[in-house]
Amino acid sequence: MTATPSLAHHVAVLIAWLDAHNPRTDHEIAMRIMKIGEEFGEVVSAYIGMTGQNPRKGVTATRDDLTSELCDVIVTAAVALASVAGDAEQAEQVINAHLSARFARLLTRIHHAPHARLTA
């Protein structure tokens, strides 16, 4: 049994595999970015299937199907980010810097909101 890889390691392996089969041209990077939209469509489909929103089809998906599709969006976005940033390590640095900045702004907004009870 193998250990579960970190997201960064998983992305690094995916990037190496993709680059070997589809060199990282501008077109290939665009395709990796557009893949996020395709995966998002699968999230929407899973949600519709989970809620039975389409009466012709009924309930066709589970919460596990939905969470799996959401994970696919995250991985696909991470691959696109790594493709643009350079590699998985650089993508991890970019996302950590982005999250740090966003979290600081979030805390500022929360502390200025009425009835705020969240602390860092």
The arithmetic mean of pLDDT across residues 80-102, rounded, is 96
Q: What is the pLDDT of residue 42?
A: 98
Q: What is the pLDDT of residue 74?
A: 98
Whether 1 is in a domain gets the answer: no
Assigned token pair, 3: 């250990």
Q: Give CA–CA dist 96/99, Å, rounded.
A: 5
Whole-model pTM: value is 0.86
Q: Tell me which residue range forms the domain holding 104.
A: 7-112
Q: DSSP class of residue 1?
A: -
Whether 104 is in a domain gets the answer: yes
Residues in the chain: 120
Looking at the structure of the chain, the number of domains it has is 1
Q: What is the pLDDT of residue 95?
A: 96
Long-range contacts of 94-103 (CB under 8 A, 24+ apart): none
Q: What is the pLDDT of residue 113?
A: 76
- Sequence-distant (6+) residues with CB within 8 A of 118 are 107, 110
The arithmetic mean of pLDDT across residues 12-24, rounded, is 97
Q: What is the pLDDT of residue 112?
A: 83
